[in-house]
Amino acid sequence: MQSVAERGTLTAPRPAVRGTGKHGVMAFSSILKKVAMALTGLGMFLFLIGHLAGNLLLLKGPDSFNGYAAFLAKIPLVVPVEIGLLLLALLHIASAVSVTLGNWTARPQRYAVKRTAGSSTFASRTMWIGGLVLAVFIPLHVWMFKYGDHHGPQELYGLVMRSFQNPLIAFGYAFAMIPLGLHLSHGFASAFQTLGINRPRLRPRLRAAGAVLGWLIALGFLVLPFWGFFGQ
Amino acid sequence: MILDAKVPDGPLEAKWDRHRDHLKLVSPANKRKYTVIVVGTGLAGASAAASLGELGYQVLSFCFQDSPRRAHSIAAQGGINAAKNYPNDGDSVYRLFYDTIKGGDFRAREANVYRLAQVSASIIDQCVAQGVPFAREYGGYLANRSFGGAQVSRTFYARGQTGQQLLLGAYSALMRQASTGRVKILPRREMLDLVVVDGVARGIVVRNLVTGGLETYVADAVCLATGGYANVFYLSTNAKGCNVTAAWRAHRRGAFFANPCYTQIHPTCIPVAGDYQSKLTLMSESLRNDGRVWVPKTPGDTRRPEQIPEAERDYFLERKYPSFGNLVPRDVASRNAKEQCDAGKGIGPGGRGVYLDFSDAIKRDGLAAIRERYGNLFDMYHEITAEDAYTVPMRIYPAPHYTMGGLWVDYNLMSNLPGLFVLGEANFSDHGANRLGASALMQGLADGYFILPYTIGDYLASAKLTALDTDHASFRDAEREVSERLSRLLAIKGKRTVDSFHRELGVMLWNQCGMARNEAGLKELLQRIPALREEFWENVTVPGSPGTLNQTLERAGRVADFLEFAELLVLDALERRESCGGHFREESQTEEGEALRDDEHFCHVAAWEFRGVGETPVLHKEPLTFTNVSLAQRSYK
Amino acid sequence: MDLTLKVWRQAGPKEKGRLVTYEAKGIPEDASFLEMLDIVNSRLEAQGEEPIAFDHDCREGICGSCGCMINGRPHGPGQGITTCQLYMRKFHHGDTIVIEPFRARAFPVVKDLVVARSAFDKIIQAGGFISVNTGSAPEANTIPVPKPNAEAAMDAAACIGCGACVATCKNASAVLFVSAKISHLALLPQGEPERERRALAMVAAMDAAGFGHCSNEGECEAECPKGISLVNIARLNREHLRATVRK
């Protein structure tokens, strides 16, 4: 049996609150990491809306689409936007990796039985898987359509349509839109919550808006490969 | 030995102020040289430890729970009294004092109760500043409700969770001190002995409940804020862990135990459902503000409540006590419920229950208002009984709830052992023979925030304490005795479980030393309790080892102490041949069946001195003198 | 009713644990879940076996001591209740019930179903208070608080610190707990002076304890016995962001 003498062993008073002040707080708290993920996610969400609007011009035919591509190539904003998007994506991925690894280590021993109370969704539970699929898909996608075998913007329509003739590409592309839809449908409302924008009345609306917008974007993109493969 | 309560001279209203003016002080620079042990982290313990830390003392704060926030004060539902007179209904310090002393059936020390009423207002100020979310009116000002035993609205509340919110306030203050290092938090430790050196309390022995190891701690003063002993009845509204061990161990070391027979049986609890039952759940007394208590007029009426017409119901409290009605003090309400059930009019399983009916209140104020006031209580009732109290009357029955008795303390909250201070429910001081609703929270916080921090300084400044460490023989001896006792419990390896002994003791006490007591029954108990204790020490089984978390061993130690303590409780009840407050001797009642005090022979505090297990303790009497109130027969008619 | 229990038994913090099967026969349906465990334990004790260790105290849903995973859910089936408020009538004769401790890196197992939740105390120590010394408070009614704010503060303050939010969160995140205290104090004028310091320090303490991040799924809210809302987490995020910007 141990014996502890406590007299005089107490440490001298420390400041009332530790971890505050200019240098006390970790550079990126868990919440700031999530904020970074939310802001970058919302940024890419906005981009996707524009991207989809442009891409839907495919349906109008080669002239419209190639014209749009040529217009983009001409304006000087493209490069800064591309760099910006790259930074958004990298920051999004970096914070996601950090957050996800932290989450995995937070419970070293798993439960033998675990049930949900019904609040989480398939989308919310699979964010990291969706993220991983998109992290593979997006570089391939950029490589294929931006640096693929074509001769300038006037030829882009042809490149896309030729690519979608390949069933592997068309169906691979289409398949990747499912995790995108899932990812966006949870990510949208989640980002607002992370940014602290969530009043009780706003909450169901944000959730609904996230699901509707997310799936609309995914479906919009999904139309293209199918149209490319079957449509012509 | 003459018990000196050290009540200051002077007029009642000036005693506390004058006393404070003349207490010795410890200078700011010297405070850090003193170590104070505080056992228990309920309202009294947490508020005391935090306040002492703020003053600069080194504080060691102990609790048996895994966190200080879990102490049983957290379960208090109804509210906290304070003489603020916000509702402008004529309240004053004097009225709160008078209601409390009358509610306690004139068995409390006048000066203590007056002081309690005086500091009550500061408690509310302190708690609001801490961020306790008390109920408010639309103007943003604090709301009040009425409560049993008073004709003014002076009770502050935070929904049905007042105790929780007050405790979390005190806990947050304690955590703030812990972050400064002035208070060291030592959770999951149970005090198993008090160490007395040269007649002065100087430390404690605790068991580290996680490792099973014994630890000893030295200090300049020891404060016990270890709650009450209602679990001696096994079934009570107390948390399962509540126990008498700390107080009883201090008693065995020389601290006098005062008025153990003053136990409070709360009128509004959910009735017992079966023999597996582990505790009784209290429904806040505030329910009596809107609920009407009734039983069928005919004994043995088994119709469902809604089938019993108005004319065949007996609203017995309203009938017998027209001016207080359903808001009579707890002891009166409980005894009347028992009386109705004894007459065969009880309802529910075994006929042990009365109705608490909200249908009139719902008709008057609307369902929404009642839901807002009591929603969580109704939900709780539904979870336990699977009945909806919005449509069917609640069934309630009295249950042991609070104990007014406790370690004897003087006006400074110090026991007869120098250096041992006792706070909150663990002491005997302010509630006399019966506590009014919403007064326990008030007393716990008064002791911890506003009384002890002053009086302990006076003791420390004047006591001549030698430097000690845990190698001192008294510490070694105490630790060895605790260790031997634990080994003995583990070595019995008998046939009966700890709980079976506890249940048996509880039933015995409930039947013969519960809401009503008589000489024959008490004398019988004095035979049966020692016999049960003997069997316990021969036939209990405590599996497991001492060197680990062992919850059976924890319970065994507590039950062993209850088995010693119960005898004192019964002896005190036998000795007090009068009825007062929660102590109802059948031999002493008025023609109408009300409690009849005997001021000529029993207007005193009975403080008992331990002389050994099975030995007759020595009774010391502290006479109670009343200079500001006249002793009246309590009447709530 | 007769039940089969699969209970996590672990002798100590460093020992290996496993699920052990017990037959619990003749359990009354009006018994609470903890009373069911009491019955099983007293049978074990009578056989001289070590009973199942579990934390519990008030047994009326307010102290926050009890809590274990019951068939994969903290505090078991049902909403707005703690383990002690769960009654056996929610189960059926012949059911198998798997009982595990709350699991998180920040909540190490002490024994069987008992876990250490002192990380919560550490978080409160970091700033979950208003710095007011005893005796320095002004007259209570000099601080009016609009009733809706007082009510919302009370909603948040109702947290009992049981840890069910952490236990059920797939990331073992403690943000619901932290947000409850932050919200309680941020909604009151008394909390204003330390608002920023609190929002930074409590989050730092939470991170240091090894809890995971919030994925905004709301499982915590759904399992919280006191119905603490996700809106509080949004408020925590706001408070933390605001404090970071103004630092």
Chunked into runs of 10 residues, chain C (247 residues) has average pLDDT values of 97 95 95 97 94 97 97 94 95 98 98 98 98 96 96 97 98 98 98 96 97 96 96 97 92
Tell me how close the Cα of C184 comes to any Cα of chain A, in angstroms. 16
Is C222 touching A (CB cutoff 8 A)?
yes
Cα–Cα distance list, A43 to A128, B270, C22 (Å): 18, 57, 55
pLDDT level of residue B160 (50, 70, 90 thresholds): confident
Could you say which architecture CATH assigns to the domain B265-400? Alpha-Beta Complex (3.90)
Listed in sequence order, the residues at least 6 apart from B14 whose beta carbon sits closer than 8 Å to its beta carbon are: none
Q: Best interface-test mutation with A: which of C213, C221, C235 has the largest number of A CBs within 10 A?
A: C213
Asked whether residue A12 carries a pLDDT value surpassing 70, the answer given is: no
CA–CA dist A44, A130 (Å, integer): 15
Average pLDDT along chain B: 95
Residue (of C128, C197, C145) closest to B133 by Cα position = C145
Catalytic pick from B330, B373, B576, B597? B330
> Rounded CA gap, B356 and B633, in Å?
28
Put simply, the chain A residues between 73 and 132 with a CB less than 8 A from any chain C CB are 99, 102-103, 105-121, 124-125, 127
CB contacts, 8 Å: C71 with chain A: 113, 115
Tell me, what's the pLDDT at A152?
A: 67
CATH number of A29-103+126-231: 1.20.1300.10
Cα–Cα distance, A18 to B260 (Å, whole number): 46
C73 touches chain A (CB under 8 A): yes
pLDDT digits (tens, 9 = 90+) for B393-430: 999 999 999 999 999 999 999 999 999 999 999 999 89
Cβ-Cβ contacts under 8 Å for B327 (sequence gap 6 or more): B146, B147, B148, B149, B150, B288, B289
B-chain residues near C131 (CB < 8 A) = 176
Q: Are strands B263-269 and B221-224 parallel, antiparallel or unpaired?
A: unpaired
Are A119 and C217 in contact (CB < 8 Å)?
yes
Which chains pack against B, by 3+ Cβ pairs within 8 A?
A, C
Residues 6+ positions from A26 with CB-CB distance below 8 Å: C204, C207
Does the beta carbon of B500 lie under 8 angstroms from any beta carbon of chain C?
Answer: yes
What gap in Å lies between CA B495 and CA B504, rounded to an integer?
A: 15
For chain B positions 114-143, those within 8 Å of chain C (CB to CB) are: 122, 124-131, 133-142
What are the pLDDT digits (tens) for B282-319? Answer: 887 788 889 999 999 999 898 999 999 999 999 999 99
Pick from B336, B353, B329: nearest CA to B270 = B353
CATH of domain B473-596: 1.20.58.100
- Which segments within B121-160 are labelled E, that is strand? 155-156
* Predicted local distance difference test score (pLDDT) of residue B350: 83
CB count in 10 Å sphere of residue B165: 27
Round to whole Å and give the CA distance between A199 and A205. 10
Residue of B nearest to A10 (CA): B181
DSSP-derived 3-state class of residue B96: helix
Three-state DSSP class for residue B102? helix
Q: Note if B95 is an active site residue.
A: no
CA distance C54 to chain A (A): 17
User: Which residue in B636, B628, B631, B575 sits closest to B600, CA to CA?
Assistant: B631
Residue B485 above 90 pLDDT?
A: yes
Cβ of A4 within 8 Å of Cβ of B215? The answer is yes
Mean pLDDT of B47-64: 98
This complex has an ipTM of: 0.98
pLDDT at B248: 98
| CB atoms A18 and C200 under 8 Å | no
What 3-state DSSP class applies to B496? strand
CB-based contact, A39 to chain C, within 8 Å = no
**Radius of gyration of chain A from Cα atoms?**
24
Chain B CB contacts of C138 under 8 Å are: 125, 129
The segment(s) of chain B belonging to CATH 3.90.700.10 are 265-400
Contact criterion met (CB below 8 Å) for B457 and B24 = yes
Which CATH number is C117-246 given? 1.10.1060.10
Cα B421 to Cα A124: distance, rounded to the nearest angstrom: 56
Residues with Cβ within 8 Å of residue B636, at least 6 apart in sequence:
B149, B321, B323, B324, B328, B329, B332
Residue C132 Cα, gap to closest chain A Cα (Å): 12
| B161 neighbourhood in chain C, CB within 8 Å | 62, 158
Q: With an 8 Å Cβ cutoff, are A7 and B219 in contact?
A: yes
Residues of B in Cβ contact (< 8 Å) with A20:
none
Nearest to C188 among B69, B71, B133 (CB): B133
Pair type for strands B420-422 and B221-224:
parallel
Q: Is the CB of C234 less than 8 angstroms away from the CB of A29?
A: no
Chain C residue at shortest CA distance from A123? C217
Cα–Cα dist B526/B506, whole Å: 14
Instruction: Determine, for residues B497 and C147 on separate chains, whether the beta-carbon distance falls below 8 Å.
Output: no
- The answer to whether B568 touches B260, Cβ cutoff 8 Å, is yes
Secondary structure element (H or E) that encloses residue B490, with its range: helix B473-492
Between A90-94, A147-151, B148-152, B502-506, the lowest mean confidence (pLDDT) is in A147-151
Q: Going by DSSP bridges, is the β-strand pair C3-9/C96-100 parallel, antiparallel, or unpaired?
A: parallel
Return the closest-CA partner of residue C150 out of C184, C100, C193.
C184
In the predicted model, what is the mean pLDDT of residues B371-379?
A: 86
The pTM is what? Answer: 0.94
Evaluate if residue A14 carries a pLDDT over 60: no
Report the gap between the CA of A126 and the closest CA in chain C (Å).
11
Q: Give the residue extent of every domain in chain C.
A: 3-111, 117-246
* Chain mean position to CA A205: 20
Question: What's the topology of domain C3-111?
Answer: Ubiquitin-like (UB roll) (3.10.20)
Q: Give the per-residue pLDDT at A232.
A: 58
B179 to chain A: which residues are within 8 Å by CB?
14, 16-18
- The C-alpha torsion from A199 through A203 and A206 to A211, rounded to 10°, is 160
- Answer whether A34 touches C (CB < 8 Å): yes
Measured between alpha carbons, how far is B156 from B162 in angstroms, rounded to an integer?
8
Query: Nearest CA to C171 among A107, A31, A125, A129?
Result: A107
Distance CA(B75)–CA(B106), nearest Å, equals 28
Smallest CA–CA separation between C127 and chain B, in Å? Answer: 7
Cβ A181 vs Cβ A204: under 8 Å: no
Q: What is the DSSP string of C170-203?
A: TT-B-HHHHHHHHHHHHTSGGGGGGHHHHHHHHH
